[in-house]
Amino acid sequence: MKAGTETETNARRSAFGRVVETAFELVYPRSCWICDERIVGAEASGGGRDGVSSGFRVPLAALVCDECRRAASVPARTFCRRCGRVALRETARGDDALCRFCLRKTGASEFAFDEVRPMHFYRGTTRALVLRLKRTPDPTLAEIAARLYFESRRRVLTAFRPDAVVPVPMNWRRRFLRSVNSPDFLASALARELGVPCWTKTVRRIRATPPQSAVDWEARRENVAGAFALSEGKADGPLERLKGKRILLVDDAFTSGATANEIALELKDRGGVEAVCVATLARAGLGKGRRL
């Protein structure tokens, strides 16, 4: 009898919930933050376009459609942990897989950073997300990107045990033109997910670099050589705080690795950083015949 009453109450409650949800959707129809398609049948209720910033955590299912969420998760092929190229199937031991270039190298890596962890290739949904992030000055979108990244790369991030998150600084001219600093937004959102500080002023560009149009690795490396410096005693605190730390370096996309390499060099040589892991949404520049 009692159980019956409870069931009836629950049914009434869930019916009421559905009415509220439908009414809410009529006022605030939910559309996917990446593709703009209407989100139907999302498990979660509540939240509008300002859901994340309104204090409670809106589930990803209410912000990104199932298709985009699936497409943005880790692709079938694994990325090489050292350089981000496609890893060889035979070495594909999950997160430790290597590509044929890195497998041959027994000594030091060609990069100053220790790992690179892309979420996906720079195409389809991930490309749409990266481009939207560059154009939309909305922290909610950055938070969504960070949550998608965290969802698919949680294991490697946790294993790396970062002490702080540092964004790749943007060229001020490009920042002015785009008006959105997507690596900054993304880094802050990722730091919140990880519960570690975000040091946005630690690395700065000391000279503008021409766009990385060259394909050749050496040319790209020369392009960014000496372009970055560590900020002494600025808002993030004295440089000594970097000593022995493990840094998660964040960029929206990763092409040749020349920029991340240059910053990792600076962080290690001048800052005494122990390890650098590059977190990036998209691995670009893997076109046919390209030497990265």
Using CB under 5 A, list all residues that contact Zn ion: 32, 34-35, 65, 68, 80, 82-83, 85, 99, 102
Q: How far is the CB of 193 from Zn ion (least distance, A)?
A: 21
Judged by beta carbon, residue 81 or residue 245, the one nearer Zn ion is 81
Judged by beta carbon, residue 87 or residue 170, the one nearer Zn ion is 87
Q: At what angle do helices 124-135 and 139-160 cross, to 10 degrees?
A: 120
Q: How far is the CB of 79 from Zn ion (least distance, A)?
A: 8
Q: Which residue has the tokens 């996917």?
A: 32
Judged by beta carbon, residue 126 or residue 259, the one nearer Zn ion is 126
Judged by beta carbon, residue 91 or residue 171, the one nearer Zn ion is 91
Q: How far is the CB of 163 from Zn ion (least distance, A)?
A: 25
Q: How far is the CB of 116 from Zn ion (least distance, A)?
A: 9
Judged by beta carbon, residue 70 or residue 243, the one nearer Zn ion is 70
Q: How far is the CB of 173 from Zn ion (least distance, A)?
A: 32
Q: How far is the CB of 227 from Zn ion (least distance, A)?
A: 24
Judged by beta carbon, residue 33 or residue 150, the one nearer Zn ion is 33
